[in-house]
Amino acid sequence: MAQLPRYRYRLSHMDIKQLRYAIAVAEAGSFSAGARQAFVTQPTLSAAIAALEADVGFKVFDRHPRGVVLTPQGSRLIAHARSVLSELAAMKTLARSPAVQRRRLRVGLLATLAPQFVADTIAALTRSAGLPGCQTEDGSLSALRRRLASGRLDAILTSLEAQPAPGVCQLELAADSQVLALPEAWEVPAQVTPAMLHGQTLIVRIHCEFLQAASRILDECRVAPIVVARTESDAHAMAMVGAGLGACLVPDSLSAPRVKLVQVQQVRLQRRLGLEWIKGAAGGALDRMQRLA
């Protein structure tokens, strides 16, 4: 802990990049995945992490053949880094505050949210925040949180973290569960279990936040489906299910013609949905908002 204050006061432009790269590696679990998440080459990221470790005087990560693990000191540094980046984002927002009332609220949208939920929330947010309107952009969970931390977005409509980073505020709006989307014509047993997917055709939503968790469940149950499609489009996935091409794991908030949604026994994959923003964003308009109109 004694090392951290020394680092706090040496935040050059390159140091900020080092912090962001370290957070990316911590979130992704490896240097290669962290480089992809940070949109840099692995040598660039590795050099930045090495410089960071030399600067603070301790190892941030323990390297293993299957990835990396934070050291105890590294865990404390990452928590501090998140706080620093959140504070920087808040300061950037405050610096722009005189112009906030003249521009639209910049909101990032998680791509896996149901379209009607998104539209209704953005309309309510526009009414509640007292701003001219919203400017939205879609993104993955990790990309949206990076843009929020950097100040590129004022808020994100997303799957809420159980323990948000320091300085991040939340407003829970809804919740959903993962269910199995099946062609309407398929006969379904009274109790649907993962075992029914063995040898069955499956459509994979590659942007699904629960993809790894679902894969682990199938592995534990020794279930091997036949993957016939991988897509980033929920509309494509649901249309293929409706056409009888296979089953698909989806949020229960989605719907489509000729598709039925069934709960899978022994599987509980749930998420809380809502808004996240950095305290002080948009001139404090979001902080003053108690609920959506």
Over residues 204-257, the pLDDT tens digits come to 999 999 999 999 999 999 999 999 999 999 999 999 999 999 999 999 999 999
Give the DSSP per-residue string, 21-75.
Answer: HHHHHHHHSSHHHHHHHHTS-HHHHHHHHHHHHHHHTS-SEEEETTEEEE-HHHH
Task: List the single range of 27-36, 78-87, 211-220, 279-288 with lowest mean pLDDT.
Answer: 279-288
Decide if 115 is inside a domain: yes
3-class SS of residue 251 = strand
Question: Residue 64 burial by CB count (10 A; 0-12/13-18/19+): exposed, middle or buried?
Answer: exposed
Q: Per residue in 267-283, pLDDT tens?
A: 899 999 999 999 888 77
Decide if 236 is inside a domain: yes
Decide if 67 is inside a domain: yes
Per-residue pLDDT, 42? 92
Q: Which one, of 100, 105, 75, lies nearest residue 1 by Cα?
A: 75
Q: Which one, of 21, 269, 37, 213, lies nearest residue 141 by Cα?
A: 37
Residue of 103 and 170 predicted with greater confidence = 170
| 103 lies in the same domain as 171 | yes
Decide if 291 is inside a domain: no
| 252 lies in the same domain as 277 | no
Residues with Cβ within 8 Å of residue 211, at least 6 apart in sequence = 204, 205
| Beta pairing partners, 136 | 107
- pLDDT-above-70 percentage for the chain: 90
What radius of gyration do the chain's Cα atoms show? 21
CATH number of 76's domain: 1.10.10.10
Q: Which one, of 280, 283, 290, lies nearest residue 88 by Cα?
A: 280
d(CA 100, CA 26): 33
* Mean predicted confidence (pLDDT) in 125-154: 89
Structural tokens at position 269: 């994959």
Range of the domain at 204: 176-270
| 195 lies in the same domain as 118 | no
| 102 lies in the same domain as 170 | yes
Task: List the single range of 36-45, 129-138, 175-184 with lowest mean pLDDT.
Answer: 129-138
Q: Is the pLDDT of residue 181 over 80?
A: yes
CATH number of 200's domain: 3.40.190.10
Per-residue pLDDT, 22? 93
| 120 lies in the same domain as 170 | yes
pTM of the model: 0.63
Question: Torsions phi, psi of 127, nearest 5?
Answer: -70, -40
Decide if 290 is inside a domain: no
Q: Is the pLDDT of residue 183 over 80?
A: yes
Question: Across the chain, what does the average pLDDT equal?
Answer: 87
Per-residue pLDDT, 131? 75
